[in-house]
Amino acid sequence: MGLELYLDLLSQGCRMVYIFAKKNNIPFEFKHVELFKDSILGKKMPGGNTQEQSHDGQPYREEFGKVNILKKVPALKDGTFTLAESTAILLYLSQKYHTPDHWYPSDLQKRAQVDEYLSWHHTNIRANAPKTLWIKVLIPLFTGQTLPSEKLQNVLKELATSLKQFEEKFLQDKPFIVGSEISLADLVAIVELMQPIGVGCDIFEDRPKLLEWRSRVEEAVGKELFQEAHKMILNIKELRNIQVDPHLKEHLAPVLMKMLK
């Protein structure tokens, strides 16, 4: 049994793992988890423990539950070993498959700078960028309500602060976060920043340095692979037409409203 990666490319964490694995020719089985059919917030799967074997994403419900009891994507299964958390998965893959040094440099200080970014990312860029998707698309989709524009404005303001710190502390005048070559840090950052792009918040618009960095990252990853990974999030109109399971709607609505308090 080979490596299995449980992914939904709507999720930033999944995109970074997908891009990394593809770019490094790491053989894996893509197990598609559809976030809007399967529960995403650690709650019980709606509909209980079904054992359907159809091929539209349903069969992985049960299996997925065993793989990752937090029921979040991405998740990895390597034989009997299971792993959650995109950062942990990236590090595991980079070490197991001996990917090129620049992804997670052996140089002590450069490696520390990657670690530093990966840590800071959680409570800064990652805390804000995804909210744009929730406010503009997901919350209206699940609750039927549109939020007042000031909610989005506040999120964009916080994101602007994070982006300023990103440019001043992490990027500075370097081509990439750690220096002259792309690393896990850039990959983790870019997928998160594509989330607002998907919903029409062009955060690169008034930030030429950031835009240049983005081009370099796309180039280093490979434009085709980058576009393939981001196809879903950039076609957000299709998302608006998704038929949402009424049970899921019921489950998620109160949680979503709380998320945005």
Partner 1 sequence: MVIELYLDLLSQPCRALFIFAKKNNIPFEFKHVDLLKGQHSSEEFGKVNVLKKVPALKDGDFTLAESIAILLYLSRKFNTPDHWYPSDLQKRARVDEYLSWQHTAIREKGCQVFLTKVLVPFIIGQPFLPEKFEEAIKELNSVLKQFEEKFLQDKLFIAGSEISLADLVAIVELMQPVATGYNLFEKRPKLAEWRSRVEEAVGKMLFQQAHEMIMNVENLSTTPLSPELREQLKQQLLKH
First to last CA, the chain: 44
Q: Which is nearer to partner 1, 126 or 140 (CB)?
A: 126
87 binds partner 1 (CB under 8 A): yes
Cα(173)–Cα(155) distance, rounded to whole angstroms?
27
Q: Is 85 in the site for partner 1 (CB under 8 A)?
A: yes
Instruction: Tell me which residue has tokens 């209206």.
Output: 140
User: Backbone dihedral region of 179: left (phi > 0), alpha (psi from -120 to 50 degrees) or beta?
Assistant: left
Is 99 one of the binding residues for partner 1 (CB under 8 A)? no
The interface region with partner 1, picked from 44-52, 78-86, 193-201, 216-224 by CB under 8 A, is 78-86
The site that binds partner 1 (CB under 8 A) totals a number of residues, namely: 31
Asked if 95 is part of the footprint of partner 1 (rule: CB under 8 A), the reply reads yes
Of 173, 170, 177, 175, the closest CA to residue 105 belongs to 177
Interaction pattern, residues 164-183, with partner 1; x per rule: CB under 8 A:
-x--xx--------------
H or E element in which residue 194 lies: helix 184-198
Question: Is 88 a residue that touches partner 1 (CB under 8 A)?
Answer: yes
Instruction: By CB under 8 A, name the one of 33, 91, 171, 178 that touches partner 1.
Output: 91
Residue 24 within binding range of partner 1, rule CB under 8 A: no
**Tokens read off for 177:** 């976060």
Cis peptide before 208 (omega within 30 of 0): no
Using the minimum distance from each CB to partner 1, give the nearer residue, 20 or 226: 20
16, 188 Cβ separation under 8 angstroms? yes
Identify the residue among 30, 41, 44, 69 touching partner 1 (CB under 8 A): 69
Q: What is the distance between the alpha carbons of residues 115 and 250, in angstroms, rounded to a whole number?
A: 39
Residue 50 interacting with partner 1 (CB under 8 A): no
Is the Cβ of residue 119 or residue 153 nearer to partner 1 in the bound state? 119
CB of 88: closest distance to partner 1 in angstroms?
A: 4
Tokens in use for 179? 């220096």
Judge whether 260 and 151 are in contact, CB under 8 Å. yes
Q: CA–CA separation, 173 vs 192, rounded Å? A: 21
Nearest to partner 1 of 134, 226 (CB atom): 134
d(CA 28, CA 205): 36
Residue list 143-162, contact with partner 1 (CB under 8 A): none
CB of 182 to partner 1, least distance (A): 19
Residue with tokens 């994507």: 73
Query: Which C-beta is closer to partner 1: that of 56 or that of 168?
Result: 168
Query: Of the two residues 96 and 231, which places its CB atom closer to partner 1 in the complex?
Result: 96
Q: 244: closest CA among 132, 138, 146, 131?
A: 138
Site for partner 1 contains 215 (CB under 8 A): no
Binding site for partner 1 (CB under 8 A): 42, 69-70, 81, 83-89, 91-92, 95-96, 108-109, 111-113, 115-116, 118-120, 122-123, 127, 165, 168-169
